[in-house]
A and B are shown apart, each in its own frame.
Chain A
């Protein structure tokens, strides 16, 4: 269980990192290494060139302005302990606490998790929930990619081999919005079987002004319940709406694999969506950020 040989590059400037990944065949960018290094240890991944981004300046930042901006190399730990983010995007931390363990979040990055794109990973789901925009850079220039165009298929992103993810940004939801994230995994911190996240803004009449629901782990990539979201607008925040959301989630397409059947995944999607809706309802109006 040792990685194969590779040439190691440790640039300190983004321009150098971009040039390196553009210049080499079979090169991989190394972020936190919490997924890539195990794959290298197993020799599932055998890059000839490893471009270590850990020393590159300017890729790790948290900016809670008009839009939330996160540097791709921001450690999951730093997001977890950011009180600004906790106020502005409380669902982020709630989801993040399910990402691995203390030791892996100390090292793992937000961008790495999004690029790895495990089907049930929390960070891609949360970014899809927020319609996040990703910034990619190569020697050819800078490109913005919406999250729904980024996640192409099973652990496959629309990043080109010569591109690096540099930044993730998304608009914050209104003050006092409701949020909830629930998932089911065999052991806390392990890969989830299924997950659900909900964001709701209500108007003064107690009706849905805006809602977003994401379900992870059903298929190759997380999915939004877009049809339900559109239909739910203007509906009263009542138990019926929770039941309808759960029903919509359990009608989604799902894949079977060696461990869990599609039926079981759909069942979980329904249960977790109901729980996430319930949490979001309970939290509406609680000052989510100041």
Chain B
């Protein structure tokens, strides 16, 4: 499978969950395992562009797929992406446990909808639990990221 553009080949036991494969076999520990039964969203990654819970998929099922994780979000020069920067600026994280999942969920959504409103982001984020922030700052970060991405696109045109 390809993860963040890099190809990996491994033999795994069928029961190995995708989240454990990423963390243990590939050492990509940015993706977090929280509840491990599909409730918290901390393990959210993108597979072929769609967000999903990597604790509910076996690694073998991602054979040949293109996976994106938190490790792939930063810009090529290592600087923070717009979305990451907005989380930083708006205090969108405290302990940071939920953050990889939040970022991946928002990454998918902002790709599909460049002009989200607040209500829509709140609904999209219902699949990700955060025990610290109270969500307000995360929603603000998401809205600001959408604004900055639009501004950047306009500037480029």
Q: How far is the CA of A37 from the CA of B55 in the complex (A)?
A: 8
Q: How far is the CA of A77 from the CA of B60 in the complex (A)?
A: 22
Interchain CB contact under 8 A, A38 and B14 = no
Interchain CB contact under 8 A, B14 and A107 = no
Interchain CB contact under 8 A, B38 and A5 = no
A residues 11-63 in Cβ contact with B at 8 Å:
33-34, 37-38, 40-42, 50, 52, 54
- B17 lies within 8 A of chain A by Cβ: yes
- With A8-B58, A34-B56 as given contacts, are A2 and B108 in contact (CB-CB < 8 Å)? no
- 29 A-B pairs within 8 Å (CB atoms) are namely A1-B36, A1-B37, A3-B17, A5-B14, A6-B14, A8-B14, A8-B60, A33-B57, A34-B38, A37-B55, A37-B58, A38-B38, A40-B15, A50-B14, A52-B61, A77-B50, A100-B127, A101-B126, A102-B51, A102-B108, A102-B109, A102-B124, A103-B52, A103-B53, A104-B38, A104-B127, A106-B52, A107-B52, A189-B126
The one of A52, A102, A107 that contacts B56, using a Cβ cutoff of 8 Å? A107
A interface residues, Cβ below 8 angstroms from B: 1-8, 10, 33-34, 37-38, 40-42, 50, 52, 54, 77, 100-104, 106-107, 187-189
Q: How far is the CA of A189 from the CA of B38 in the complex (A)?
A: 12
Interchain CB contact under 8 A, B15 and A4 = yes
- Enumerate chain B residues within 8 angstroms of A6, measured Cβ to Cβ: 14-15
A18: shortest Cβ distance to chain B, in Å? 20
Q: How far is the CA of A23 from the CA of B124 in the complex (A)?
A: 42
B87: shortest Cβ distance to chain A, in Å? 19
Report the nearest B residue to A10, measured CB to CB. B60
Q: How far is the CA of A104 from the CA of B128 in the complex (A)?
A: 11
- B41 lies within 8 A of chain A by Cβ: yes
- Enumerate chain A residues within 8 angstroms of B53, measured Cβ to Cβ: 34, 103-104, 107
B41: shortest Cβ distance to chain A, in Å? 6
Interchain CB contact under 8 A, A103 and B44 = yes
B23: shortest Cβ distance to chain A, in Å? 13
- With A102-B109, A103-B51 as given contacts, are A189 and B56 in contact (CB-CB < 8 Å)? no
Q: How far is the CA of A133 from the CA of B123 in the complex (A)?
A: 32
The one of B36, B58, B60, B127 that contacts A103, using a Cβ cutoff of 8 Å? B127
Report the 8 A-B pairs with minimum CB-CB distance, sorted nearest first. A101-B127, A8-B14, A38-B37, A1-B36, A106-B50, A37-B56, A3-B15, A103-B51
- B68 lies within 8 A of chain A by Cβ: no
- Enumerate chain B residues within 8 angstroms of A10, measured Cβ to Cβ: 60
- Enumerate chain B residues within 8 angstroms of A1, measured Cβ to Cβ: 36-37
Interchain CB contact under 8 A, B51 and A106 = yes
- With A37-B38, A41-B37 as given contacts, are A5 and B51 in contact (CB-CB < 8 Å)? no
The one of B15, B55, B105 that contacts A102, using a Cβ cutoff of 8 Å? B105
Of B13, B37, B38, B124, most buried by chain A (CB within 10 Å of CB) is B38
- Enumerate chain B residues within 8 angstroms of A42, measured Cβ to Cβ: 37
A136: shortest Cβ distance to chain B, in Å? 24
- With A50-B14, A54-B61, A102-B105 as given contacts, are A38 and B127 in contact (CB-CB < 8 Å)? no
